[in-house]
Structure 1
Amino acid sequence: MNDGTSGKRSAIKRLLVPLLILAFSAVIFVVLVNNQPTLKTTVKEPVPVAVRALDINLAPMQLSVSSEGNVQPSVETKLVAQVAGEVIEISSSLVAGGDFSKGDVLLKLDPRDYEIALARSQAALSRAQAEQRYAAEETGRIKSLYGEELASIAQLQSAERLLAIANAALDDASAAVKRATVDLERTFFTAPFNGRVRAENVDIGQFLSQGAMIATLYDTDRLQVRLPLADAQLAYLDPSYAQTGLAGEEPADVVLTADYAGDTQSWSAKLLRTEGDISTKSRFLHVIVEVTETLNSNGVQLPVGLFVDAVITGRTVDNLVSVPRTALRPDNSVMVIDDSNQLHFREVTVFKLSDSDALISEGLASGERISISPLQFVVEGMPVTVID
Structure 2
Amino acid sequence: MDIKRHRFTLMFVIIIASLLISFLLGKLKSPPEKMTISTEPLVSTMVVAYDNINISIESQGTVRPLDATKISAEVSGTIINISPKFIPGGVFSKDDVLIIIDPDNYFAAQEKSKALLEQRQNEFDNAINIREKGYLSESEYLSAATALASAKSELVKADKNLNRTKVKLPYDGMVLSKDIGLGQYITVGTPLGMTFATEYAEVRLPLSDRDLSFIQLPTAKKLLNSGVGSGPKVIFTAEQLGPLAKWEGQIVRSEGVVDEKTRVTYAVARIDDPYALQDANSSLPLPMGTFVSADIKTRTDYTVIPIPTEALKNNRQVIVVNSENRIQLKDVKILNADAKYAYLIDGLDEGERIVITPIENAMNGMVVRINVNENKLTTVLTKDDDLSVNEK
TM-score (norm 2): 0.73
Cα distance in 2 for residues equivalent to 1:339 and 1:165: 108
The 5 A counterparts of 1:258-269 are 258-260=238-240, 264-269=244-249
* Unpaired stretches in structure 1, ≥5 consecutive residues: 1-45, 143-154
Deviation per CA, 1:48-68, whole angstroms, max 9, x where unpaired?
Answer: 966432332153x32211122
**Residues 217 and 267, structure 2, Cα contact 8 Å, conserved in 1:** no
Counterpart CA distance in 1 for 2:115 and 2:237 is 62
1:56 aligns with 2:49: yes
Residue number among 151, 155, 170 corresponding to 1:192 in the alignment: 170
1:123 correspondence with 2:100: no
Amino acid at match of 1:56: A
| CA separation of 1:241 and 1:317: change in aligned 2, threshold 3 A | farther
Hey, what's the Cα distance between the residues in 2 that align with 1:211 and 1:132? 38
2-structure distance, mates of 1:346, 1:380: 9
CA RMSD for the aligned pairs?
3.3
Deviations 1:342-361 (A, max 9, x none): 54332111121100111222
- Rounded to whole Å, the distance in 1 between the matches of 2:335 and 2:220 is 18
Larger radius of gyration: 1
Match for residue 39 of structure 1?
Answer: none
How far apart are residue 255 of structure 1 and its match? 1.1
Q: Which amino acid aligns with 1:250?
A: S
**Cα deviation 1:21-69 (Å, max 9, x = unaligned):** xxxxxxxxxxxxxxxxxxxxxxxxx98966432332153x322111223
Residue 278 (structure 1) aligned to one of 253, 256, 259: 259
Alignment equivalent of 2:191, drawn from 205, 213, 232? 213
Q: Which moved more, 1:66-75 or 1:374-383?
A: 374-383
Further displaced range: 225-234 or 64-73: 225-234
Q: Tell me how far 1:221 sits from its aligned partner.
A: 2.1
- Residues 251 and 211 of structure 1: CA distance in aligned 2, closer, same or farther (over 3 Å): same
1:373 and 2:360 correspond: no
Which piece of structure 1 moves more, 291-300 or 210-219? 291-300
Q: 1:302 to 1:174 in 2, by over 3 A?
A: same
Does structure 1 conserve the Cα–Cα contact (< 8 Å) formed by 2:76 and 2:187?
Answer: yes
Q: What is the aligned counterpart of 1:291 among 267, 271, 284?
A: 271
Which has the higher mean CA deviation after the structures are superposed, 337-346 or 303-312? 337-346
Residue 331 and residue 74 in structure 1: after superposition, are their counterparts in 2 closer, same or farther (change >3 A)?
closer
- Asked whether 1:250 is paired with 2:227, we answer no
What is the one-letter code of the residue matched to 1:62? N
Question: What are the equivalent positions in structure 2 for 1:300-339 lying under 5 Å apart?
Answer: 300-316=284-300, 318-337=302-321
2:23 corresponds to which residue?
A: none
Unaligned runs of 5+ in 2: 1-38, 377-392
TM-score under structure 1 normalisation?
0.74
The amino acid across from 2:271 in the alignment is V
The 3 A distance-change label for structure 1 pair 220 and 317 is same
Percent identical among aligned pairs is 27
Report the alpha carbon displacement of residue 180 of structure 1 after superposing the two structures with TM.
0.6
Aligned residues: 327
Is contact 2:90-2:174 (8 Å) kept? yes
**1 or 2, which has the higher helix percentage?**
1
Contact residue 56 and residue 368 of structure 1 kept, 8 A: yes
